[in-house]
Amino acid sequence: MASGREIKTKIKSTQNMRKVTRALEMVSASKIRKAQDLMKASRPYARAMRKVIAHVAQANTEFNHPFLQERETVKRVGYVVITTDRGLCGGLNSNLFRLMLPAIREWQDQGVEVDVVAIGQKANQFFRRIKGVNLIGSVGHLGEKPKLDHLIGAIKVALDGYLAGKVDRVFLAHNVFINTMTQKPAVHALLPLPVMAQELAASDESGSATPYSVAGVKLEQKHDWDYIYEPDAATVLEHVMIRYIESVVYQGVLENLASEHAARMVAMKSASDNANKVIGELTLIYNKARQAAITQEISEIVGGAAAV
């Protein structure tokens, strides 16, 4: 059995750890409401953009935008991965990586190269260690109120690769906020748009949609149709496509931010509860050791007195 001094040292260190976990829990609890409000405020716009773009992808447009062209052979794919900058949020980031890795390995087995744009320090650190994955861009430290201006550089890297024909598919990976106790990792097709539209329709039919998904997207075409564009199709589509990409990526950042605070709050509360349990067990062991030492001292005193 450890000595009383060693047990007291363990109790003190566990108490200090509990102070840290409680502080982190309270900080996340104070920030989660604002993060949820930002996420919920922008979610309808992102959902409407996805639905509009899904319908545009089915139109027989007079201007064939590169984002609307589905390439027959896929030689390189790109992933825009959104994670947290800090840890101590349970399995939030690891669950997302665990979902992505099998798909990345499957692409690599087919001879397809994989590019990654990392949004968040955890994604940057993780994909630097993965062999066969090209980390072509990264951005981090977006703060509690992310701004689109900070994301434009990372978004442009992914779009330029697709427009130049270097990347044939682009996916967006992030955590979707369901509720305070549940955050769901998800990988969405971003480009080309016909693939995105097929994914939305499939999720709607299978009933696997999340609060971030779009309902009512149908791919049945009975005749050719198109929108009326003003001033012209090229100008309108170019503007709408860029706004679509920016809104979806920005919404992913907000979803991940709300998920981060929720996961950290739950993880730190669990850590604080475990610290309380450990402190109770160590206190019991310390009391037993102290009682045993007192009993031994009394026995030695009684034995010495009897010997005299």
Picking from 29-33, 42-46, 74-78, 225-229, which range would have the lowest pLDDT averaged per residue?
225-229
189 in Cβ contact with 195 (< 8 Å): yes
pLDDT at 257: 92
> In which residue are the tokens 């349970």 written?
90
As beta bridge partners, residue 170 has 78, 191
As beta bridge partners, residue 219 has none
Q: In what order do the strands lie in the sheet with 169-179?
A: 133-139, 113-119, 76-82, 169-179, 182-191
pLDDT at 192: 85
253 in Cβ contact with 151 (< 8 Å): yes
pLDDT at 263: 92
pLDDT at 217: 45
Residue 216 has pLDDT above 70, yes or no: no
C-alpha distances in Å from residue 135, one per residue of 21, 73, 123, 230: 33, 22, 10, 39
* Catalytically active residues, by annotation: 89
**Number of Cα atoms under 13 Å in the Cβ half of residue 228:** 0
Residue 3 has pLDDT above 80, yes or no: no
Residue 221 has pLDDT above 60, yes or no: no
Residue 126 has pLDDT above 80, yes or no: yes
Which secondary-structure segment (H or E) carries 172? strand 169-179
Which secondary-structure segment (H or E) carries 190? strand 182-191
168 in Cβ contact with 185 (< 8 Å): no
Residue 256 has pLDDT above 80, yes or no: yes
Question: What whole-number distance in Å separates Cα of residue 168 and Cα of residue 158?
Answer: 11
Average confidence (pLDDT) over 235-250: 87
Give the percent of the chain with pLDDT over 90: 23
Ordered by where they begin, the domains of the chain are 29-217+228-262 (3.40.1380.10)
Here the tokens at position 145 are 């109120």
169-179 vs 182-191, strand pairing mode: antiparallel
Average confidence (pLDDT) over 2-31: 87
Eight-state DSSP code of residue 59: S
**Mean pLDDT for all residues in the chain:** 84
254 in Cβ contact with 41 (< 8 Å): no
Identify which of 152, 150, 151, 195 has the alpha carbon closest to the alpha carbon of residue 171: 195
Whole-prediction pTM value?
A: 0.84
